[in-house]
Amino acid sequence: MNPRFFKDRRTYQKELCDTLQSIYEKTLINPKTGLPYRKIMINVPPRHGKSYIITNFVEWVMGKNNEERCLTISYNDKIASRFARGVRDGIDATKVDDRFIVYNDVFPGTRIKQGDASMQMWALEGQYISYIAAGFGGTITGFGGTIGIIDDPIKEDKEAFNTRVLEEQWSWYGNTFISRVESEDVSDDDAEVEADGIEGIQIAIMTRWSTQDLCGKLLASPDADEWYVFMRKACIDEEKKIMLCPSILSYSQYKKRQGITSEEIHRANYQQEPVDIKGKLYGEFLTYAELPKEPDGRLKFETILSYTDTADEGTDFLCSIVAGVYGILPSHSYFDPAGDLQEQAHCGGGDEFLGGAFVAGFGDAAVDAVSGGHDGVDFFDA
């Protein structure tokens, strides 16, 4: 253990270590299934040592059982390799001072196989492969691990809101990653019928960027109840200025970073609040299978509008917005030469805004984002 990092006052460290140990030892029971948790989601602020703790956890696991095999995935090969190298170097540490304890003092029977210890793939003595690391979407064919780790698959906020990137990660997780995490065979050799295996351990470590990121999709999936969520905010109490770990991030540092970072990114990074939830304009959208009608059966729409932004150079997406306008438009609303509807209106002798909202429609659903009451703009499927 590193006494410069692991300190008694940093209680979240012990809480995370105890949780990981109980998952490995199958003593943390899921109250909804009655079975041990085998999947853990870790959402902890930057620089609080979540990846370092997992590195130590893997070292401990391999010391307990040399036959464990670990797979680490990150957003690129370089970062994933750094994780694998940290575990390898920790196990292979050389004792140079009797005052300090190294790995071999605790687990003398666990050693790195010499000549088979690259950064991305290495083995313990007596094993074929013990560890492999790859970037998201990389090739891991032919390797099965008892522990699968996904460590910060998103590089930055631009990727966090790129639908294509998020969908590719979700697809790769479902089509490749989970098939590489092996179950533990718990069958009795003398039994006539094989028992169901116990799933391998899955660990997802990441900042909560979006409800559509990997964690968001996992929590919205049918397997959501199988995940144990370990989430800690950097600032526990804003009013009382209580921080998760003031020696790592003090309240003054927290506020200073808040002042130079956009509020949404700051809340995602340090408070684990997905950006697309914080401060969103509309709480929900209504959807319609048919165009909205008046009580007498007439369509509500008085005017149909369409605006299309073409993918001129073929490097971005085409966007086509179709809307239906209903209600009475103020007499002085107009379209400027660029085709944009001006929001400021003058009617009834006073100044007021059009009682509606600008909305966007996608796919087959129609969307209603009216924020006024009676007048507004509705969406429908073109």
Instruction: With a cut of 80, say whether residue 153 has pLDDT above it.
Output: yes
Output the six-digit token pair for 93.
């540490």
Residue pLDDT, tens place only, 5-53: 889 999 999 999 999 999 999 999 999 999 999 999 999 999 899 989 9
Backbone angles phi, psi at 75, to 5 degrees: -75, -20
Most distant CA pair in the chain, distance: 91
Q: Kindly list the distances between the CA atom of residue 99 and the CA atoms of 35, 105, 107, 287, 332, in Å, as whole numbers in the listed order.
A: 43, 12, 17, 68, 83
- The SS3 of residue 129 is coil
Instruction: With a cut of 90, say whether residue 107 has pLDDT above it.
Output: yes
What pLDDT, on the 0 to 100 scale, is given for residue 69? Answer: 94
CA angle, residues 303, 306, 308, in degrees to nearest 5: 170
What pLDDT, on the 0 to 100 scale, is given for residue 346? Answer: 36
- How many whole angstroms separate alpha carbon 196 and alpha carbon 34? 15
What pLDDT, on the 0 to 100 scale, is given for residue 353? Answer: 30
Banded pLDDT at 249 (limits 50, 70, 90): very high
What pLDDT, on the 0 to 100 scale, is given for residue 368? Answer: 37
What pLDDT, on the 0 to 100 scale, is given for residue 205? Answer: 94
Output the six-digit token pair for 26.
């199958």
Banded pLDDT at 82 (limits 50, 70, 90): confident
What pLDDT, on the 0 to 100 scale, is given for residue 366? Answer: 35
What pLDDT, on the 0 to 100 scale, is given for residue 131? Answer: 92
Helix axes 50-64, 77-91, angle to 10 degrees: 50
- How many whole angstroms separate alpha carbon 55 and alpha carbon 84? 8
Percent above pLDDT 70 for the chain: 77
Banded pLDDT at 285 (limits 50, 70, 90): low
CA angle, residues 214, 19, 241, in degrees to nearest 5: 80
- The SS3 of residue 87 is helix
Banded pLDDT at 321 (limits 50, 70, 90): confident
List the single range of 130-144, 232-246, 329-343, 348-362 with lowest mean pLDDT: 348-362
Output the six-digit token pair for 253.
């540092």
List the single range of 65-74, 213-222, 328-337 with lowest mean pLDDT: 328-337
Which range in 71-80, 112-121, 213-222 is most confidently predicted, on average pLDDT?
Answer: 213-222
Residues 203-207: what's their mean pLDDT? 92
Instruction: With a cut of 80, say whether residue 139 has pLDDT above it.
Output: no
**Measuring CA to CA, which residue among 125, 62, 50, 65 is closest to residue 90?**
62
Q: Kindly list the distances between the CA atom of residue 159 and the CA atoms of 43, 51, 169, 313, in Å, as whole numbers in the listed order.
A: 18, 20, 11, 21
Residues 120-146: what's their mean pLDDT? 86
CB 179: neighbour CB atoms within 10 A?
11
- How many whole angstroms separate alpha carbon 135 and alpha carbon 158? 18
Q: Are 349 and 364 in contact (CB under 8 A)?
A: no
What pLDDT, on the 0 to 100 scale, is given for residue 377? Answer: 41
- How many whole angstroms separate alpha carbon 176 and alpha carbon 323? 41
**Measuring CA to CA, which residue among 209, 216, 214 is closest to residue 168?**
214
CATH assignment, 11-232: 3.40.50.300
What pLDDT, on the 0 to 100 scale, is given for residue 363? Answer: 34
What pLDDT, on the 0 to 100 scale, is given for residue 221? Answer: 94
CATH 3.40.50.300 range(s) for the chain read: 11-232
